[in-house]
Chain A
Amino acid sequence: MKRLLVFFILATALAGHTAIAGNLGPEIPKATGKPHPEGNLWMRINHPKMLLHDRNLTMRQGDRDIEFSLKGCVSCHAVKGADGQPVGYDDPKYFCRVCHDYAAVKVDCFMCHNSKPEEKTQAFLSPRKAPDSNELAAYLNKTGKETGQ
């Protein structure tokens, strides 16, 4: 309930912010794709519920054709960085963070989910190199200094 209230206040602030000179609310990045038929205000208030509901449909019942998937959000709302590549959740310009930082509501979706659109997930697959003995020695040396041992 408290969370809803926060969203409501935020949404009201956003709705009013054009009328007030200057930017009181966050700068919301434009998304690609068709706008939500439900309207932005409705999505701002209800998106956590939709995600929560539809994730269980996929997880428990195997519905792979759901309307409100995190993948769907990310693909349209991705924000491009200076290099033209989509930024990840660690960047403050990231779509979710723009509002969530402003409202101080923590998002933990991206602790497990990829925050970048799908085709950008390929690079990591090259096998990781095992650290050689020199690297290990340097690391141990460094941590030893830090802990004073």
Chain B
Amino acid sequence: MKLPALKFSKKPSEMDRRDFLRAGAALATITLAPGVTLMAFGGSEAKANADPAKRWGLLIDVNKCVKDCTACVSACSQENGWRLPVNKETDAQWIRKVTLTDNDTGREEYLVTMCQHCEEPPCVDVCPTGASFKRVDGIVLVDKHICIGCRYCMMACPYKARSFVHENIVDEQKTWAPRGKGTVESCTMCVHRVDTGRIPACVEACNATGHGAIIFGDLKDPESEISKALAKYPSTALRDDLGLNPGVRYSNL
């Protein structure tokens, strides 16, 4: 799904000398090399960072996730400009810390959940406008330009990962994470960071605390840290029975 570069043709009457020379040069190129197709668009070709040869994923080690630490949640909130929820029923939450208690033994486990970036995302299946989509590198996003706020994706998601923005947001957004009333949003796996070769904010924060419970990497690259860890240790996906093949996996759960 590659968009062509946008070009506006000028009317011949609007062509200046430079345009005329340029057109002449282009013509010369074609006649000099017949049968050769040049695909260059004068340096304006899109630099697509979404690479179909990659699939980004996270591996969360539940043993390393510590009680009372919410570094990843605060980091996400800071990075993407959403407030930590006050009104839990309506405020947006991209990542949440969950405590699991074994009713018989009382043993507690802690883990974080966010958008699981499924290979077969139900949110994308149900979206009536195509706003909910999966990038070629496996990151599931909402195109808020065409989101109509129907919230069908929120109902389809088995992980309760998506939030609806109920209130007006005026000039609080980060430029890399637009947010607006009437649209649905969720974890973007810090796509703006990933596109520039950085790791998601939650992973960075978790590493900074020294817990190192979250590994980020390319699931398709067998040499990546995450692939090696997945090959070596047992791991599971949340609601594995649904067959959605999430990009977020958990070990020691």
Contact = CB atoms under 8 A, between A and B. Distances in A.
A49 B6 CA distance: 9
Interface string B160-199: 0000000001111111001111110000000110111000
B78 A125 contact: yes
Nearest to A118: B175
A12 to B, nearest CB: 15
B141 A59 contact: yes
Interface string B119-138: 00000000000000101010
Given A60-B50, A112-B183, A130 B171 contact: no
A56 B171 contact: no
Contact of B171 (A57, A60, A66, A121): A121
Given A55-B145, A60-B135, A115 B171 contact: yes
A90 interface: yes
A13 B173 CA distance: 35
A49 B8 CA distance: 10
Contacts, number: 94
A111 interface: yes
Interface in A86-130: 88-90, 110-116, 118, 120-121, 124-125, 127-128, 130
Given A60-B135, A121-B81, A128-B83, A90 B170 contact: yes
A35 interface: no
A67 interface: yes
A50 B44 CA distance: 12
Contacts of A61: 1-3, 46, 48-50, 135
A63 interface: yes
A55 to B, nearest CB: 7
B191 A62 contact: yes
Give the bracket for the number of chain A residues in contact with chain B.
35 or more
A57 B3 contact: yes
Interface in A33-81: 46, 49-50, 53, 55-57, 59-67, 71
Contacts of B78: 125
A58 to B, nearest CB: 9
B144 interface: yes
Contacts of A115: 171
B180 to A, nearest CB: 3
B86 interface: yes
In the A-B complex, list the 4 residue pairs whose CB atoms are closest, starting with the nearest.
Answer: A112-B180, A62-B49, A61-B48, A62-B50
16 contacts: A53-B6, A59-B145, A60-B3, A60-B143, A61-B50, A62-B50, A63-B48, A112-B178, A112-B179, A113-B178, A113-B180, A114-B172, A114-B174, A118-B175, A121-B174, A124-B81
